[in-house]
Amino acid sequence: MFKLIENRPLVPNLHMLRVEAPEVARSVQPGQFVIVRVEEDGERIPLSVADWDSEQGTITLIYMTIGATTHRLSRLPAGDGLPTVAGPLGNAMEIDHFGSVVCVGGCYGIGSIYPIARALREIGNTVTIIIEARSSYLLYWQEKLKQVSDRLIVITRDGSGGLKGHIDNLPAIIERLPQRPQRVIANGCNFLMMRASEQTRPLAIPTIVSLNTLMIDGTGMCGVCRVTVDDTVKFACVDGPHFDGHKVDWAELNKRRQAYLREETIPLRSSAGTAEQ
Amino acid sequence: MAETAPKKLDLQRRPMPKQEPEVRSQNFDEVALGYTPELAMEEARRCLMCKRPQCVPHCPVEVDIPGFIHCIAEGDFSGGVRILKGKNALPSICGRVCPQEEQCEGSCVLAKRGGTIAIGRLERFLGDWASAQEQQSIDLPTPTGKRVAVIGGGPAGLTVAADLVQLGHEVVIYEALHKMGGVLVYGIPEFRLPKKTVETEVDYLRRLGVEMKPDYIVGKTRTIDSLLEEFDAVFVGAGAGLPWFSEMPGNNLNGVYSANEYLTRINLMKGFSFPKTITPVREHQRVAVIGGGNVAMDCARSALRLGARSTILYRRSRDELPARLEEVENAEEEGVEFSFLTLPTRCVGDDNGWVKGLECIRMELGEPDASGRRSPMPVEGSEYFLPFDAVIHAIGNSPNPLIPATTPDIEIGRKGNIVADEATGKTSKPRVWAGGDVVTGAATVILAMGAGRKAARSIHEYLSNPGSEW
Ligand SMILES: Cc1cc2nc3c(=O)[nH]c(=O)nc-3n(C[C@H](O)[C@H](O)[C@H](O)COP(=O)(O)OP(=O)(O)OC[C@H]3O[C@@H](n4cnc5c(N)ncnc54)[C@H](O)[C@@H]3O)c2cc1C
Ligand code: SF4
Ligand code: FES
A39, A125: one domain:
no
Which member of A85, A222, A252 has the closest CB to residue B260?
A222
Which member of B178, B221, B242 has the closest CB to residue A23?
B221
* Tens of pLDDT, residues B76-129: 999 999 999 888 888 999 999 998 988 999 999 998 888 899 999 999 999 999
Q: Do domains B21-132 and B147-241+398-464 have the same CATH topology?
A: no
Mutate to test the interface with B, among A34, A70, A217 (most CBs of B within 10 A): A217
A229 domain residue, yes or no: no
pLDDT of A272 reads 36
B212 CA to chain A: closest CA distance, Å?
13
- Cα separation, B47 vs B69, in Å, equals 7
A203 lines ligand 3 (CB under 6 A): no
Q: Which residues of B touch A23 (CB under 8 A)?
A: 216, 221-222
- Cα separation, A152 vs A162, in Å, equals 10
Q: Is A252 on the interface with B (CB under 8 A)?
A: yes
* Tens of pLDDT, residues A8-49: 999 998 999 999 999 999 999 999 999 999 988 888 999 999
* A vs B: CB pairs below 8 A: 118
A240 CA to chain B: closest CA distance, Å?
13
Which member of B217, B261, B278 has the closest CB to residue A68?
B278
Q: Which residues of B touch A69 (CB under 8 A)?
A: 278
Q: Is A230 on the interface with B (CB under 8 A)?
A: no
Please state which architecture CATH assigns to domain B147-241+398-464. Answer: 3-Layer(bba) Sandwich (3.50)
A231 domain residue, yes or no: no
Residues 6+ apart with CB under 8 A from A172: none
> Do B356 and B346 touch, CB atoms closer than 8 A?
no
Domain boundary among A89, A114, A149: A89
A54, A116: one domain:
no
Give the residue on A whose Cα is nearest the Cα of B244. A223
Atom of ligand 1 nearest to the CA of B96: 8
pLDDT of B279 reads 62
A161, A201: one domain:
yes
The domain limits of chain B are 21-132, 147-241+398-464, 245-395
Which CATH number among 3.90.550.10, 3.40.50.720, 1.10.1060.10, 2.60.40.420 corresponds to the domain B21-132?
Answer: 1.10.1060.10
The answer to which of A100-114, A143-157, B77-91, B362-376 has the lowest mean pLDDT is B362-376
A49, A135: one domain:
no
> Do A196 and A132 touch, CB atoms closer than 8 A?
no
A90 lines ligand 3 (CB under 6 A): no
Contact A27 B222 (CB under 8 A): yes
The residue range of the domain holding A69 is 2-89
Q: Which residues of B touch A266 (CB under 8 A)?
A: 274-275, 280
A262 domain residue, yes or no: no
A112, A158: one domain:
yes
Using alpha carbons, list the distances in angstroms from residue B370 to B363, B367, B373, B378, B414: 20, 10, 7, 20, 23
Domain boundary among A158, A191, A210: A210
Question: Of B437, B430, B432, B428, which Cα lies nearest the Cα of B455?
Answer: B432
Q: Which residues of B touch A85 (CB under 8 A)?
A: 215
Residue nearest to atom 2 of ligand 2 (CA): B98
Mutate to test the interface with A, among B172, B220, B356 (most CBs of A within 10 A): B220
Q: What is the mean pLDDT of residues A143-166?
A: 94
A219 domain residue, yes or no: no
- Cα separation, A76 vs A7, in Å, equals 7
Residue nearest to atom 35 of ligand 1 (CA): B152
A75, A9: one domain:
yes
Q: Which residues of B touch A87 (CB under 8 A)?
A: 217, 220-221
B241 CA to chain A: closest CA distance, Å?
5
- Cα separation, B184 vs B176, in Å, equals 14
Q: Which residues of A touch B260 (CB under 8 A)?
A: 221-223
A35 lines ligand 3 (CB under 6 A): no
What is the domain-level CATH number for residue A14? Answer: 2.40.30.10
A179 domain residue, yes or no: yes
* Tens of pLDDT, residues A262-273: 565 554 444 433
* Tens of pLDDT, residues A170-216: 999 999 999 999 999 999 999 999 999 999 999 999 999 999 899 99
Which member of A83, A219, A228 has the closest CB to residue B252?
A228
A24, A117: one domain:
no
- Cα separation, A70 vs A63, in Å, equals 7
* Tens of pLDDT, residues A51-63: 999 999 999 999 9
CATH number for the domain running over B245-395: 3.50.50.60
A163 lines ligand 3 (CB under 6 A): no
Q: Residue A219 Cα, ligand 3 centroid: separation in angstroms?
A: 6
- In terms of Cβ atoms closer than 10 Å to its own Cβ (0-12, 13-18, 19+), residue A40 is exposed
The closest ligand to the CA of B155 turns out to be 1
Mutate to test the interface with B, among A34, A214, A222 (most CBs of B within 10 A): A222
Q: Is A83 on the interface with B (CB under 8 A)?
A: yes
Atom of ligand 1 nearest to the CA of B446: 11
A180, A150: one domain:
yes
Give the residue on B whose Cα is nearest the Cα of A37. B178
Contact A219 B265 (CB under 8 A): no
Peptide bond into A181 cis (omega under 30): no
Tens place of pLDDT per residue across chain B (470 aa): 444 445 678 888 888 888 888 889 888 888 988 999 999 999 999 999 998 999 999 998 889 999 999 999 999 999 999 999 888 888 999 999 998 988 999 999 998 888 899 999 999 999 999 988 877 667 788 999 999 999 999 999 999 999 999 999 999 999 999 999 999 999 999 999 999 999 988 998 998 899 999 999 999 999 999 999 999 999 999 999 899 998 899 999 999 999 999 999 888 877 666 556 666 677 899 999 999 999 999 999 999 999 999 999 999 999 889 998 889 999 999 999 999 999 999 999 998 889 999 999 999 988 887 777 788 899 999 999 999 999 999 999 999 888 988 898 999 999 899 999 999 999 999 999 999 999 999 999 999 999 999 999 999 999 998 777 77
pLDDT band at A274 (very low <50, low <70, confident <90, very high): very low
Q: Is A223 on the interface with B (CB under 8 A)?
A: yes
A94 domain residue, yes or no: no
pLDDT band at A277 (very low <50, low <70, confident <90, very high): very low
Q: Give the CA angle between residues B204, B205, B208 to the nearest 5°.
A: 95
Collapsing DSSP to helix, strand or coil, A193 comes out as helix
Domain boundary among A28, A57, A89: A89
A115, A198: one domain:
yes
Using alpha carbons, list the distances in angstroms from residue B45 to B50, B106, B122, B139, B418: 13, 19, 11, 33, 44
The domain tally of chain A equals 2
For residue A104, is pLDDT > 90? yes
Contact A219 B269 (CB under 8 A): no
A110, A203: one domain:
yes
Mutate to test the interface with B, among A49, A221, A227, A255 (most CBs of B within 10 A): A221
Q: What is the mean pLDDT of residues A135-144?
A: 95
- In terms of Cβ atoms closer than 10 Å to its own Cβ (0-12, 13-18, 19+), residue B187 is buried
* Tens of pLDDT, residues A57-86: 999 999 999 888 899 999 999 999 999 999
What is the domain-level CATH number for residue A111? Answer: 3.40.50.80
